[in-house]
Amino acid sequence: MHVPDGFLDAPTSVATGVVAAAGVALALRGARRELDDRAAPMAGLVATFVFAAQMINFPVGAGTSGHLMGGALAAVLVGPWSAVLCLTVVLLVQALLMADGGITALGTNITLIGIVTVAVGWLVFVGLRAVLPKRAAVVAPAAAVGALLSVPVAATVFTLLFSVGGTAPVDLATVLTAMLAWHTVIGVGEAVVTGLVVASVIAVRPDLVHGARPLLQHRELEIRTAVA
Amino acid sequence: MTAKLSTRAFLGIGLLVVLLVAGVASYYASAHPDGLEYVAERTGFLDSAEDSPTSDSPLADYQTRGVGDERASVAVAGVVGVGVMALVSTGLFWLIRRRGPNASDGA
């Protein structure tokens, strides 16, 4: 859903630019808590993976395609603040090097793909983790549900921005319906990829998955209590 | 559930997977418009899109200028992109990471 230049007018682009800058500034502070010597290279790998995965458009029918956005995936793997930075670097490299997503639209794309998908993915994940059994096995399915919902929510936020600052006079109800329909289907792909990748990392190195840590600590504490 | 893979091995395998995705699998990606582009076309606002100021980049649209072979063109663009991503993102995260009491480098 990389927004090109021209879809949104200048005031809306400036506003999303301010939102994006504020979000990135907060993320730069917050990410410090998530990143240590071991998590920092992991976050670099996750950002690089998201860049590569976004090159893979998968067909979703009727001549349309979608690709991973990766907000929920990055949030569960490295934490939400680092995830915002992961997606921001991805979007910067894409816009500057690959002409993928506009330049005046960078604030919009960071807001939609870098902040909205991360926030929705992470909050849904944390909500599910709180009510599901305290086992590492719930991490991948919970991440997948967060990923599934993050895509149509981002599509809805785009439509809201378009209703405020769209440059073309088109019927908003039609845009919203079409955006929601297609991005719900794309969200299924997002959920599948997110679930598989998180499950793979959980299988080999659960300790490297940020979203799994409270569950692993829980287990360790139980063992220590039993020993004592 | 014991960790069988060292962190170094995990990162190495991860980077290999990333290179395969960007350098090989990317050739097989769908060329159809994405959801937003499709909706924009169908509902009539695609024409408001403007060319990016970076559209003359040598790697624009994930194609390498001067490389005729389509497979090689996208592969080079993908691998260069992965290199830039790995350097920039890992560099950023390393700079802002929390220095623990055990961190020996004071940089």
**Inter-CA distances, A46 with A75, A191, B49, Å:** 10, 16, 30
Q: Which two tokens stand for residue A186?
A: 């794309």
Question: A62 or A156, which is more confident?
Answer: A156
User: Does the residue B61 lie in any domain?
Assistant: no
Vertex A193 angle, CA A184 and A179, to 5°: 20
Question: Could A44 and B86 be called an inter-chain contact, meaning their C-beta atoms sit closer than 8 Å?
Answer: yes
User: Is residue B80 situated within a structural domain?
Assistant: yes
Distance between CA atoms of A64 and B33, rounded to whole angstroms? Answer: 5
Q: A130 exposed, middle or buried (CB, 10 Å; 0-12, 13-18, 19+)?
A: exposed
Does the residue B104 lie in any domain?
A: no
B27 found inside a domain: no
Q: Does residue B59 belong to any structural domain of this protein?
A: no
Q: State residue A75's pLDDT score.
A: 98
Give the type of residue at A1. Answer: M
Q: Which residues contact A61 (CB under 8 A, 6 or more apart)?
A: A185
In a domain, B90, yes or no: yes
Bridge partners, B34 (sequence order): A65
For residue B98, pLDDT beyond 60:
yes
* Chain B residues 6-65 with a CB less than 8 Å from chain A: 7, 10-11, 14-15, 17-19, 21-22, 25-26, 28-36, 38-40, 42-45, 47-55, 57, 59-62
Closest of A211, A69, A224 to residue A132, by C-alpha: A211
Convert the pLDDT of each residue in A131-186 to its tens digit: 999 999 999 999 999 999 999 999 999 999 999 999 888 889 999 999 999 999 99
CA distance A153 to B39: 16
Cα–Cα distance for residue pair A62/A206, rounded to 1 Å:
39
Nearest to A103 among B10, B36, B54 (CB): B54
- Amino acid identity of residue A113, one-letter, is I
Counted domains in chain B: 1
Measured in angstroms, the CA of B66 and the nearest CA of chain A are apart by 15
**Distance (Å, whole) CA A202 – CA A159:** 35
In a domain, B5, yes or no: no
ipTM value:
0.91
User: In terms of residue numbers, what domain contains B78?
Assistant: 71-98
Give A71-125 pLDDT, tens digit per residue.
Answer: 999 999 999 999 999 999 999 999 999 999 999 999 999 999 999 999 999 999 9
Q: CA of B60: how far to CAs of A96, A185, A205, B54, B63, in Å?
A: 9, 28, 36, 7, 6
Residue A151 phi, psi (nearest 5): -75, -55
Residue B88 lies in a domain: yes
Tokens encoding A155: 């599509």
B89 near A CB under 8 A: yes
pLDDT score, position A222: 54
pTM of full prediction above 0.80: yes
Interaxial angle between packed helices B35-43 and A139-165, expressed in degrees from 0 to 180 and rounded to the nearest 10: 30
Please name the residues between 150 and 189 in chain A that touch chain B, using a CB distance below 8 Å.
Answer: 155, 158, 162, 166-168, 170-171, 174-175, 178-179, 182-183, 185-186
User: Mutating which of B1, B34, B36 best tests the A interface, going by the most A Cβ atoms within 10 A?
Assistant: B36
Closest CA–CA distance from residue B39 to any residue of chain A (Å):
6
- Chain-wide mean pLDDT for chain A? 94
Amino acid at A118: V
Domains located in chain A, CATH noted: 10-227 (1.10.1760.20)
Q: What are phi and psi of A59, to 5 degrees?
A: -70, 140
